[in-house]
């Protein structure tokens, strides 16, 4: 993978393979800024997921995301959370092939983190082979 678009394409493909137990909507509407990349339904639960892609992590103590979670994205995740549903940020780091699943409430106000041990140790991680487990956690895990 080289871009966030590639990542979202792979996520869509994996979610399609999970049907009929999982249904999802991939949002790609440039006119509705802030709506999460994915809305996922399964087993009577639903969640909003905003994905971010990092090709190669920057040096130490530098902002991790080239394109941070925007204010509108964070507001949308909050609105889903306030309705009693789950809201997640998902950061994929290509160099390590790891997904970092971040509860909406733990996304900083400015939508980004400085690199370092805090980020790597603070969030639940999944590999590509654990994708089904990650989706299960997205739908049923604590928010």
For position 53, what pLDDT does the model report? Answer: 96
**Is the CB of residue 126 less than 8 Å from the CB of residue 30?**
no
User: What 3-state DSSP class applies to 26?
Assistant: strand
The CATH number of residue 24's host domain is 3.40.1350.10
pTM of the model: 0.92
- Domain range holding 24? 4-140
Take residue 56 and report the two structure tokens written for it.
Answer: 């190669």
Tell me how many domains the chain contains.
1
Q: Where does residue 117 rank: exposed (0-12), middle (13-18), buried (19+ CB within 10 A)?
A: exposed
Per-residue pLDDT of the chain (143 residues; tens, 9 = 90+): 899 999 999 999 999 999 888 999 998 777 778 999 999 999 889 999 999 999 988 888 899 999 999 999 999 999 999 999 999 999 999 999 999 999 999 999 999 998 876 777 889 999 999 999 999 999 998 64
């Amino acid at each position: 993978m080289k871009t966030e678009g590639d990542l979202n394409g792979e996520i869509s493909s994996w979610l399609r393979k999970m049907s009929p137990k999982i249904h999802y909507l991939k949002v790609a509407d440039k006119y509705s800024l802030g709506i999460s990349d994915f809305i996922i339904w399964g087993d009577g639960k639903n969640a909003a997921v905003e994905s971010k892609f990092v090709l190669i992590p920057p040096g130490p103590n530098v902002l991790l995301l080239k394109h941070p979670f925007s204010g509108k994205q964070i507001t949308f995740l909050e609105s889903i959370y306030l309705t009693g549903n789950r809201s997640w940020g998902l950061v994929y780091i290509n160099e390590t092939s790891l997904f970092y699943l971040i509860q909406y409430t733990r996304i900083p106000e400015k939508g980004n983190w400085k690199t370092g041990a805090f980020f790597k140790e603070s969030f639940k991680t999944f590999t590509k082979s654990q994708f089904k487990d990650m989706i299960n956690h997205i739908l049923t895990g604590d928010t």
